[in-house]
């Protein structure tokens, strides 16, 4: 699962983008995938811990 380490990511053109690392939007699909037998790795572009929205 690709996540970001920042709440807002700065794009190449300078604009801010919210990637939506929301706990429910991430957690529910993860539960379904795990129940189906998949393994999940969480990664970020820099290798830093993922930032989860409040």
26-47 pLDDT, tens digit per residue, is 889 999 999 999 999 989 889 9
pLDDT band at 52 (very low <50, low <70, confident <90, very high): confident
**Taking 90 as the threshold, does the pLDDT of residue 25 lie above it?**
no
**pLDDT cut 70: percent of the chain above it:** 98
**pTM: predicted TM-score of the whole model, two decimal places:** 0.61
User: b/e per residue, 20-50, with b = 16+ CB within 10 A?
Assistant: ebeeeebeeeeeeeeeeeeeeeeeeeeeeeb
**Taking 80 as the threshold, does the pLDDT of residue 54 lie above it?**
no
Overall residue count recorded for the chain in this entry = 54
Distance CA 4, CA 26 (A): 12
């Amino acid at each position: 699962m690709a996540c970001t380490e920042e709440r807002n990511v700065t794009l190449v053109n300078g604009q801010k983008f919210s990637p939506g690392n929301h706990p429910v939007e991430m957690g529910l699909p993860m539960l379904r995938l795990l129940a189906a037998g998949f393994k999940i790795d969480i990664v970020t572009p820099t290798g830093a811990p993922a930032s989860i929205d409040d």
